[in-house]
Amino acid sequence: MEKPQNGEKEELKASICGYDSLHRLLKDNLNPHHFQEVSRLLTGLNGGKALETIALPESATALSVEHGFDLQAFSFCADKELLREPRVVRVGLIQNSISLPTTAHFVDQKKAIFEKLKPIIDAAGSSGVNILCLQEAWMMPFAFCTREKRWCEFAEPVDGESTKFLQSFAVKYNMVIISSILERDINHGEVIWNTAVVIGNHGNIIGKHRKNHIPRVGDFNESTYYMEGNTGHPVFETAFGKIAINICYGRHHPLNWLAFGLNGAEIVFNPSATVGELSEPMWPIEARNAAIANSYFVASINRVGTETFPNAFTSGDGKPAHADFGHFYGSSYVSAPDASCTPSLSRNRDGLLVTDMDLNLCRQVKDKWGFRMTSRYELYVDTLARYVKPDFEPQVISDPLLHKKSS
């Protein structure tokens, strides 16, 4: 295996007082009774009970030890129903740092990431994972901070080498795989997209989805490289359930989450690449809110590590030019529609999170809470239709005494 780019010093810097997750810090520093209550408040109770951990096969744990990746496994339950059998799906999420320095030949960099991922994907496969999702643009460094166009050479067609690499695992393990890549669309003037490819459990390409919302914040200069997606909000009906992909920055947009829900998604994957300084307090909030509001599961993945680039760049913040984007804080996790969630993977190490979820929970929560039925969508069609017109006037009721002097 390739040596990860971020070594021990980087890992310590990126830790929380020496712990690699909030969950582990709390577990080690609170008494068990306190920890239990704190966990209940922070991660909820699935069906009234704490989440159970899953025992994984020895082969998977051996791989995690040998290759030094975090491996955690949890199970969400749902109520038994009279007319439907449980529909338990095992989902795997992989977070990883890049492998070679960004100065290496692009072909070598990509191959090294493939090599690094192999044992983690094998661990997922041997754990019986049904649907596996990788992080955003997993096949390259997240080079968009640089604004250099040469990184476009990492782009591939939907059926390119990264897809081919994963197709063999899909067949081998009878596993659906979601692969978020930098796409080059050779049929439309060789333009670039940020695209998730959905590979079926027979190795076939079911379809693709292109990132709907492109950031203009911090060093996320992605709007320099690709445009807003043109694939709508597709839900992919796979052998293991109806899934959708909300790529990275789209998690900040409640309407984006909503549209996947209206199309019937039961699990929405959010492959991401985001850094600590900017978004970390939002990370445990937005995905859970989406799961609650839309009565589906959300699987959140963030890449790990600090990526240093050959040429320094500025960040529009008046500070000197520098060569890295900040720390990608990992912390991948899964949120359930009943407001419970798993603990997060490590903040600074590669990891595989395995989660069992009974998809029956989605409709059970819909029936319990009734969010869809109480949503009054007609009202909002009207509100939004008025809002998008240039002459929109907001509904404001002004205090008629507003400009009277205070007594």
Which residue numbers are catalytic?
A: 136, 211, 248
Q: Shortest Cβ distance from residue 385 to a second copy (Å)?
A: 5
User: Is 60 in contact with 123 (CB distance < 8 Å)?
Assistant: yes
Evaluate whether 138 touches 301 at the Cβ level (below 8 Å).
no
* Distance in Å, CB of 349 to a second copy, minimum: 17
348 contacts: CB under 8 Å, gap ≥ 6: 6, 10, 11, 14, 15, 20, 304, 305, 327, 329, 330
What is the phi/psi pair of residue 394, to 5°?
-65, 150
**Which of residues 154 and 240 has its CB atom nearest to a second copy in the complex?**
240
Q: Which residues contact 233 (CB under 8 A, 6 or more apart)?
A: 212, 244, 256, 259, 260, 262, 263
- Give the burial class of 316: count Cβ atoms within 10 A of its Cβ; 0-12 exposed, 13-18 middle, 19 or more buried: exposed
Cβ atoms within 10 A of the Cβ of 97, count? 23
E strand or H helix that includes residue 307:
strand 304-313
Minimum distance of a second copy from residue 92's CB (angstroms)? 18
Taking the complex as a whole, how short is the minimal distance between the CB of residue 24 and a second copy, in angstroms? Answer: 12
Nearer to a second copy, 120 or 357 (CB): 357
Q: Which is nearer to a second copy, 61 or 289 (CB)?
A: 289
Environment class of 181 (CB within 10 Å of its CB; exposed 0-12, middle 13-18, buried 19+): buried
Structural contact between residues 242 and 266, judged by C-beta atoms closer than 8 angstroms:
yes
Closer CB to a second copy, residue 38 or residue 104?
A: 38
CB of 103 to a second copy, least distance (A): 32
Nearer to a second copy, 99 or 294 (CB): 294
